[in-house]
Structure 1
Amino acid sequence: MIHVGLTGWGDHPSLYNQSTVANKKLVDYSKHFPIVELDSTFYAIQSKKVMDKWTEETPANFQFMVKAYQGITGHQRGKLPYDTEEEMFSLFKLSMTSFAESRKLAMVLVQFPPWFDCQKENVDHIRYVQEQLQPLPIAVEFRHQSWYSPAYRQKTLDFLKSLNIIHVVCDEPQVGDGSVPLVPIATDPKVLLRLHGRNGKGWVNTMKDNQTWRKVRYLYDYNEKELQGMREIVNTLQQQAQDVFVIFNNNSGQHAAKNAKQFASLVNIEYGQPLTKQLDLFEEDQ
């Protein structure tokens, strides 16, 4: 089965009603797509109360890809705001309770940083993270090319499969060690395809300037031919996995929602409401 959605629900104005307030955007979003990538959990472990609210606001078949906290992935700068790593993992897992119990947790997305290369120490860390997060399903996204080098590619995939870790397939610019090739291989009954866009210049520049990455890193509008190419990739993944999750992350210019709707149409899926809503002609003037 193919599931299509976006990164976050707060930055897609074409999905909301004019009267939608900020804390109700998830409700509108869930009328358009059945999955979403939750990235606020990367910056801070969310309270169980907040996660319970998001569980209650979404339909029964809605699912979340929850991005792992930065202290788990190695992005954290300085000292962790927790007494121990055990406390950090415990609180993160606790926050997942309502998602897990309602079967709305598709996976925990563990995205490692660009400097996390293929070496024994990092292989051991993946194993450690997987052990700490059990029984939650986890997906791993690499951002250093060494994991897919000719010497290590098959070993990397075999390693993920041996731990029942979901492989994250990425479409992104090919601009050096800090980007990975598109490797359409599933290592689990679930597989995640993340589409970051192909803005090579923006990808490189944001490695140098951390202040501008939100504006330019994912500034890309997939054309029809490129989306058709992604359909072929998804068809390949469908032959290997039961569930293919497709997340559009190209939202610096708010192209993600449009591209996701286009892609859903290409794979013969119809989701929710149209992007362009007609104004209610019978609404009373204010």
Structure 2
Amino acid sequence: MIIIIRIGLTGWGDQEDLYAHRTKAKDKLALYGQFFTTVEVDSTFYAVQPRDRMARWAAETPDSFAFIVKAYQGMTGHLRGKPYFNSTSEMYNAFRESLEPMMEAGKMQAALFQFPPWFDCNRENVNELREVRLRMEGIPCAIEFRHRSWYEDAMRERTLSFLKEQGWIHSVCDEPQAGQGSIPIVPQATDPEMTLVRMHGRNVSGWHQNGAPNWRETRYLYRYNEEELQEWKGYLEQLQEQSKDVYVIFNNNSGGDAAANARMMMDLLDIPIKPFPDKTIVEEEPGPEQLELF
């Protein structure tokens, strides 16, 4: 059995390390696909994307490319304000339909359901996870918790067993250890085909700043050092023994660090990577001096 580790980033639009000066937005995904073999689509969290856009993204990437598609916020309890859809069934149907072009292209790896920090371990939420899995039947789904109660004490093994039973792909996370609204590193697979790893950084002070004017810009402000990534190399080797494929997504891009850290990890794992472009801006040579006639 060939075991694969794929490494990629959350989104491709703001990964400036990858693009030459003045690269157009429409060209960035195709260029991204020259560096990495997977990406997490984050825009689907904010709005269910049109089928034609999903089809275009699939067409712009190499044949072996794989997408992790983040579930729409109304499906994970994040939505605030008036719902766009008239019913839960309509919402799920729209999301499933939007995934079809990527699935038909063989590039849809998993839908990622990231539940919020207030989604704790209780009977009501466990039943909700069962319902979500039924609504997403036939589509591989990864799950990420943000509340520590799912992994505390005896609940850890019960949570992992439940995920196996329900067919959820476990998201193993690296994130700040900042109380109940964060989870520990739990390097355990729940699906023999795939495990997802998400690298959020370790910015403890910025983790619980929701509502602050610039919290989105600071929450994932962190650059991993080589020692920290060496530690994660060990975790990835553990996960390789449990799942056929391991997908690693770097989400620490508040300061533009994700691409550089992904490259460092690939170097540690002996995964070849194309050199990033030279970011030096070449100034244009001045033209011939104009005669001052007036």
Q: TM-score normalized by structure 2?
A: 0.92
- Asked whether 1:47 is paired with 2:86, we answer no
Q: Which residue of structure 1 lines up, in the alignment, with residue 197 of structure 2?
A: 193
Q: Which residue of structure 1 lines up, in the alignment, with residue 214 of structure 2?
A: 212
Q: Which residue of structure 2 lines up, in the alignment, with residue 16 of structure 1?
A: 19
Q: Which residue of structure 1 lines up, in the alignment, with residue 275 of structure 2?
A: 274
Q: How does 1:40-79 map to 2 (within 5 A)?
A: 40-79=43-82
* Percent of residue pairs bearing the same amino acid type: 49
Q: Does the 8 Å CA contact 2:199/2:249 hold for their aligned counterparts?
A: yes
Q: Which residue of structure 2 lines up, in the alignment, with residue 177 of structure 1?
A: 180
Q: Does the 8 Å CA contact 1:65/1:106 hold for their aligned counterparts?
A: yes
Distance 1:278-1:151 versus aligned 2 partners, 3 A rule: closer
Q: Which residue of structure 2 lines up, in the alignment, with residue 161 of structure 1?
A: 164
After superposition, the C-alpha distances for 1:125-170 in whole angstroms (9 at most, x for unaligned) are 1111111111110000000000001131101000000011100000
Q: How does 1:197-276 map to 2 (within 5 A)?
A: 197-204=201-208, 206-207=209-210, 209-271=211-273, 273-276=274-277
Shift of 1:78: 3.1
After superposition, the C-alpha distances for 1:74-127 in whole angstroms (9 at most, x for unaligned) are 101133211111111011000001111111111000000000000000001111
Q: Which residue of structure 2 lines up, in the alignment, with residue 105 of structure 1?
A: 108
Q: Which consecutive segments of 4 or more residues in structure 1 shift more than 4 A?
A: 278-281, 283-286
Q: Does the 8 Å CA contact 1:68/1:111 hold for their aligned counterparts?
A: yes
Instruction: Write the distance in 2 (CA, Å) between the matches of 1:243 and 1:224.
Output: 23
Q: Which residue of structure 2 lines up, in the alignment, with residue 115 of structure 1?
A: 118
5+ long unaligned stretches in structure 1: none
Match of 1:86 among 75, 80, 89: 89
SS of alignment partner, residue 173 of structure 2: strand
Shift of 1:258: 0.3
Distance 1:284-1:61 versus aligned 2 partners, 3 A rule: farther
Which amino acid in structure 2 is aligned with residue 149 of structure 1? E
Q: Which residue of structure 2 lines up, in the alignment, with residue 36 of structure 1?
A: 39
Instruction: Write the distance in 2 (CA, Å) between the matches of 1:153 and 1:110.
Output: 19
5+ long unaligned stretches in structure 2: 288-294
Q: Does the 8 Å CA contact 2:176/2:182 hold for their aligned counterparts?
A: yes
SS of alignment partner, residue 263 of structure 1: helix
SS of alignment partner, residue 246 of structure 2: strand
Q: Does the 8 Å CA contact 1:258/1:275 hold for their aligned counterparts?
A: no
Which amino acid in structure 1 is aligned with residue 263 of structure 2? K
Q: Does the 8 Å CA contact 1:170/1:182 hold for their aligned counterparts?
A: yes
Shift of 1:210: 4.3
SS of alignment partner, residue 179 of structure 2: coil
Larger Cα-atom Rg: 2
Q: TM-score normalized by structure 1?
A: 0.95
